[in-house]
Structure 1
Amino acid sequence: MKRILTIALVAVFALGAFASAQAATEVKMTGDARIYGVFFAQHNYTGWNNASWTSNTPTWSGAGKKTEDRFEIWERFRLRTDFVASEAVKFRLGIKVEDTWGHGTLTAANPDAATSIAVYQAFLQFKWPGCNIEITAGLQDIDLPISKMFYGNPVFGGDRIAALTINAPLIDNTLGLLAGFGRLIDTNRTYDTTSTQVADELDAYFLALPITLEGFKATPWAVLAVAGKNAGYFTTGASTFNSQSYAENLVSGGTFMTPALWKNDQNVYWWAGSSIEVTALDPVKFYADVIYGAGAQADRKKSKREGWFLDFGVEYTGWDVLTPKIFGWWSTGEDHGNRNGSERMPQLRPNWGPGNSFLFDDSQELAKNSNMGMNPVGAYGIGASLDNMSFIEKLTHRLTYTYIHGNNNPSAIRVLNTTMGSNPYFVMGRDLTSNEFAMGVNFDTKYMIYENLAAVLETGWAHGQYQTSVWGHRLAEKSRSGDAWKVAFGLTYKF
């Protein structure tokens, strides 16, 4: 629909004007705008596209069929409007527009093109009368706990979900509770496609217990997910890792081997972990996360998946001019075969990374087309960052180096690639064998033009080594033709 953005904004302001006229209602608006250009060479270490799913059957198209367009200009706008009835009751509506110049919504070539607007937040939030228990229902941001050193949780982090959550203080300033239910997928919605009912949902239940003591903070947490066999795992995106969907995150490689897919109509997945932060030795601070996850344990042996993920870091905050950090992580990887299931931790909507690393989709401000999209699960690595560098007023920098090494046996990936061909489950440059590594450097700069307006420069470089015997001559040889790098520059405005 043309000009829907204008209509939506007029509607929001009209609602705001009406609500402002009511004595009991206050309207608050916040938001941000980003306009930036990105030059990115050697996407996926090849300059070609990754393999991707084309149906839930599943079917897929192979890698290396499309060539990168190295320069894009992106524009993003988000508006969050809170309709506040009192300190205890409010409703939030968040809308967003995002596209490249010259295409779709924000276009230089055809300004009359149809406008695309999306709702990314829509929730009711209130406190139960007479206490501090807060209840939130609707489309909201859900982040599983992760220590402060890292961005996003490798199981589920940094994304929105239709959910009901309860946040309650159990012991003031010491112990809290966060519990909730969310529906991630409901493929057929009201009616299934035939007269026979099928399990086409993915539901998740989660619980966290934040504990705060002097000089110490820990948040143990757990998630239980019920995964229906007929949900759209292969066509629903689960993260912003390169071309990754729920299928790669949840199922095992053996799931694709005869007999294909799951035996059970529903499979249970569960995760348990804790984030840990130690500040007792301030200005030296320590961070860590420990997570174990498993799923489809009652299905065929080849469909089981389970594994560990651990990360750790330390920073020194005693200097005004910079904050040095070191970090690392380790996770289990695939063994020699696929018939005994997967040894990698399953995931839902992962989003993890340290130090704005160019290797991972993490905290980049100029987010689109911003990183290599590598998977930290099935790998280990180390890195260091010089953060919050400031030698001139209003100007800050960050420099990060990250090294990643695979933990997956080459045989498991090679056999599946031989069976399926170029496929989206194991992807070169995202999933590493135990004979492969990659390294990346990013240098980022921000200058505050005004208090709420900034000029941002983000740069990145990455180099990887990949096995011809696993990925084939065409992809592996192309990865040696040049290293990946990007330069992104733009303006960010918050209000």
Structure 2
Amino acid sequence: MKKLMILALSAALLTGMSSAVQAIDFKARGEWLMGFGAGDGQFTSDRRIGADSRKTDTDDVLDVRQRVKLQLDAVASESLSGTVIFEIGDQVWGQNSTGGALGADGNVVELKHAYIDWTPPDSRLNFRMGIQGIGMPDAAGGSSVLNDDMVGITASYQFNENVGLTAFWIRAFNDNWASDSTYWESSDSKYANFNDNVDLFALTLPLSLEGVRLTPWVMAGMIGANAWDAMDNDLHKASYPGYSLRPYPLATASSRTGILGDTDKAYGLAFWAGLPVVVSMFDPWNIELDINYGSIESMGRYMATRYNTGESVWAGTKREGWLVKALIEYKLDWGTPGIFGWYASGDDGNVKNGSERMPTLSGCANFMSFHGDAIGWGDPRLYDKALTYAGTWGIGLRLHDMSFIADLKHSFRVAWWGGTNSPSMAKYVEHSYGWDNQTAEGPYLTTTDGLLEFNLVNTYQIYENLEASLELSYIANFVDDSTWKRSYRDDSYSKQDAWKAQLIFAYRF
């Protein structure tokens, strides 16, 4: 009898689970990308340090890769759902480690998003928990502070159709301390394996008025004294944001020069604020303005090498700066012409007081399509060369969404990039071609440097779900040789222009 009762209870539970599962509505979405790229993204062809002379431009001209992104939504009701997104790739054609060589069996599946959305009963409050995409509100050229996948909790409340409020907590880094670290943190046992978290807290206030949208926001962060190792070079990944939080693009990860010195602070404070504004009341005019500010608290001092003399000086670690960017465009029947520009604070040349460039976490500048990324995917050597505007200024023209044939659109952009950093800072950057640094925030430009960029993007809607984009881009290199070469005694380089041609097929469903 007891066994029968257990079987009956088990059957009831299974039936209940089956009913619950059947009540879930599963929705699948996805994207296939095929990219064919040719180009040269380097600004130098070779360099020499003392007797060591080598070629810096060693990448293949042609690159072919593919990527698949699959999204599965499990919807129980309007108040409860879950989402998971897997990304397969990039598979570089011919590359064994990514599964693109003969046999095609690489281990390249990534978990991009995994979160639940839920609303408390009879409430306007919405929660999202888990790995998700979070971007700080922006206008005119993309977010220069933060736009990436991360883990955390987002809470949103809509007071009415005009006013909302969003808050989030992000745990960007934790438990990534490396026992074999070359940084000062590993040599001080009081910091080992703790104080290594980076937490961010933000509030945004979306306001939608008649013809005007603005979203003032603030974000505060706490950066553990032992978190810099993970952000800089954990697992030797130079794409972490430690580069864009530190004061200067100074020494390499294997050198103690330019690495943060000792500090008694367990955590350093960070702060950002922004005000993006979009004005559409003067249709067909569209006006966008974005103001950003950011600062990182000083976390001790370090020895910075003055490379033209070999001397070292005590340098500060504080970083504080601002950015203003704008776009004005006028919509016509055949396209939308516009003018855009930006100006960001730059280093004043005194390393003792820290950096005057705005710190960033994971920006996504998109005014242009070579410096910054308008298409959003492809050969990493040929896109996203600079994700922020820190230490630069620029002005450009664009003809957006021109169309003369059905289903075919064109966008043309041209922009001048200048630097706002003092020329005297050249002697503190690691090499005399430091402006070609592609592992940090892009080129480090002084007030004597310039780059002229051209983009032409052509998009053809082959079918409703299939799109082809052809991008042609060129950057003329006007970096000032006299500023950089005279900052070194035994270091030289040969500069060159950059170019790319990129064809991407996108199938979305």
Larger CA Rg, structure 1 vs 2:
2
TM over 0.5: yes
Q: Which moved more, 1:265-274 or 1:107-116?
A: 107-116
Q: TM-score, normalised by structure 2?
A: 0.81
Aligned to 1:295: 296
Structure 2: which 5+ residue stretches go unaligned? 1-16, 48-52, 180-184, 252-256, 302-314
Task: Select the residue among 124, 145, 148 that pairs with 1:155.
Answer: 145
Matches of 1:253 and 1:230, distance apart in 2: 19
Aligned to 1:57: none
Task: Select the residue among 181, 195, 215 that pairs with 2:169.
Answer: 181
* Contact 1:359/1:402 (<8 A) preserved: no
Indicate the SS of the match to 1:248: helix
Indicate how the Cα distance of structure 1 residues 140 and 34 shifts in structure 2: closer, same or farther if over 3 A, else same: same
Question: Aligned AA for 2:342?
Answer: W
Aligned to 1:93: 84
Matches of 1:418 and 1:190, distance apart in 2: 27
Aligned to 2:261: 261
Indicate how the Cα distance of structure 1 residues 45 and 265 shifts in structure 2: closer, same or farther if over 3 A, else same: same
Alpha-carbon shift at residue 445 of structure 1 (Å): 0.7
Task: Select the residue among 165, 175, 197 that pairs with 2:154.
Answer: 165
Alpha-carbon shift at residue 28 of structure 1 (Å): 0.3
Indicate how the Cα distance of structure 1 residues 291 and 22 shifts in structure 2: closer, same or farther if over 3 A, else same: same
Matches of 1:67 and 1:428, distance apart in 2: 21
* Contact 1:27/1:83 (<8 A) preserved: yes
Aligned to 1:373: 385
C-alpha distance after superposition, 1:413-434 (max 9, x if no partner): 3134379999969979611011
What is the 5 A alignment of 1:14-53? 22-41=21-40, 43-47=41-45
When the two chains are superposed, the root-mean-square deviation of aligned CA atoms in Å is 3.4
1:479 lines up with 2:495 in the alignment: yes
Aligned to 2:7: none
Task: Select the residue among 463, 468, 474 that pairs with 1:455.
Answer: 468
Structure 1: which 5+ residue stretches go unaligned? 1-17, 50-61
Indicate the SS of the match to 1:114: coil
Alpha-carbon shift at residue 72 of structure 1 (Å): 0.6
Indicate how the Cα distance of structure 1 residues 237 and 451 shifts in structure 2: closer, same or farther if over 3 A, else same: farther
* Contact 2:82/2:116 (<8 A) preserved: yes
Aligned to 1:343: 356
Task: Select the residue among 198, 203, 213 that pairs with 1:202.
Answer: 198
Aligned to 1:9: none
Alpha-carbon shift at residue 190 of structure 1 (Å): 13
Matches of 1:369 and 1:19, distance apart in 2: 49
Matches of 1:77 and 1:235, distance apart in 2: 28
Indicate how the Cα distance of structure 1 residues 210 and 262 shifts in structure 2: closer, same or farther if over 3 A, else same: farther
1:352 lines up with 2:342 in the alignment: no
State how many pairs are aligned.
Answer: 456
1:439 lines up with 2:438 in the alignment: no
Indicate how the Cα distance of structure 1 residues 486 and 298 shifts in structure 2: closer, same or farther if over 3 A, else same: closer
Alpha-carbon shift at residue 295 of structure 1 (Å): 1.2
Matches of 1:458 and 1:280, distance apart in 2: 33
Indicate how the Cα distance of structure 1 residues 166 and 468 shifts in structure 2: closer, same or farther if over 3 A, else same: same
Indicate the SS of the match to 1:235: helix
* Contact 1:457/1:489 (<8 A) preserved: yes
Matches of 2:381 and 2:432, distance apart in 1: 31
1:80 lines up with 2:71 in the alignment: yes
Question: Aligned AA for 1:220?
Answer: P
Indicate how the Cα distance of structure 1 residues 21 and 96 shifts in structure 2: closer, same or farther if over 3 A, else same: same
Aligned to 1:415: 428
Indicate how the Cα distance of structure 1 residues 376 and 258 shifts in structure 2: closer, same or farther if over 3 A, else same: closer
Matches of 1:130 and 1:394, distance apart in 2: 45
Aligned to 2:13: none
Indicate how the Cα distance of structure 1 residues 121 and 20 shifts in structure 2: closer, same or farther if over 3 A, else same: farther
Alpha-carbon shift at residue 46 of structure 1 (Å): 2.0
Aligned to 1:489: 503
* Contact 1:135/1:164 (<8 A) preserved: yes
* Contact 1:312/1:328 (<8 A) preserved: yes
Alpha-carbon shift at residue 139 of structure 1 (Å): 0.3
Aligned to 1:280: 281
Indicate how the Cα distance of structure 1 residues 367 and 475 shifts in structure 2: closer, same or farther if over 3 A, else same: farther
Indicate how the Cα distance of structure 1 residues 20 and 343 shifts in structure 2: closer, same or farther if over 3 A, else same: farther
* Contact 2:162/2:208 (<8 A) preserved: yes
Indicate how the Cα distance of structure 1 residues 20 and 323 shifts in structure 2: closer, same or farther if over 3 A, else same: farther
Aligned to 1:247: 242
Matches of 2:19 and 2:472, distance apart in 1: 44
C-alpha distance after superposition, 1:440-494 (max 9, x if no partner): 11101111111010121111000122233554489874214xx211111131100
Matches of 2:46 and 2:117, distance apart in 1: 45
* Contact 1:63/1:423 (<8 A) preserved: no
Q: How much identity, in percent, do the aligned residues show?
A: 27
Indicate the SS of the match to 2:351: coil
Matches of 2:54 and 2:281, distance apart in 1: 49
